[in-house]
Amino acid sequence: MTEATKALVRQRAGFRCEYCRLHQDDSPLAALHIEHVRPRKHGGSDHESNLCLACIDCNLHKGANLTGIDPVTGAVTELFHPRSQRWEDHFFWAGIHLQGITAIGRTTIQVLCMNSDDQLDLRAAS
């Protein structure tokens, strides 16, 4: 992956995690990661259309997952795809808590642990 591609991904995301929206300036421990939406393990490429910016928590929890279990319906559900879906269609803020509008939103929040104590503490401090 070239430095130009990395710069494009960071700028396109506005230096925010494309899952939980944590800004780079609010990430106390590490730089935000360039994340493969479809992991290489599952045939994903380094093309910019398969890359997004993710905080360390979201990236590590997502790992190679492409799906999860919707906590409401119990159905296997795809995770949010920042390149092909609009964040606002799947998530909304309830104070510092992230809520899912759709099965994709709910499942992504659960799999990525987007309302963990650490995430809530960071949001409360911002």
pLDDT tens-digit series, residues 51-61: 999 999 999 99
Average pLDDT of the chain to the nearest whole number: 94
pLDDT tens-digit series, residues 67-88: 999 999 999 999 999 999 999 9
Number of other residues whose CB lies within 10 A of the CB of residue 9: 20
Reduce the DSSP state of residue 87 to 3 states and report it.
Answer: helix
pLDDT over 90 at 30, yes or no:
no
The partner residues of 52 in beta bridges, in order of sequence, read 35
What is the pLDDT confidence band of residue 123, given thresholds at 50, 70 and 90?
confident
What is the pLDDT confidence band of residue 27, given thresholds at 50, 70 and 90?
confident
Q: How far apart are CA 66 and CA 58, in angstroms?
A: 13
pLDDT over 80 at 29, yes or no:
no
Closest CA to 8 of 63, 44, 50: 50
28 against 84, higher pLDDT: 84
Cut 0.75: pTM above it: yes
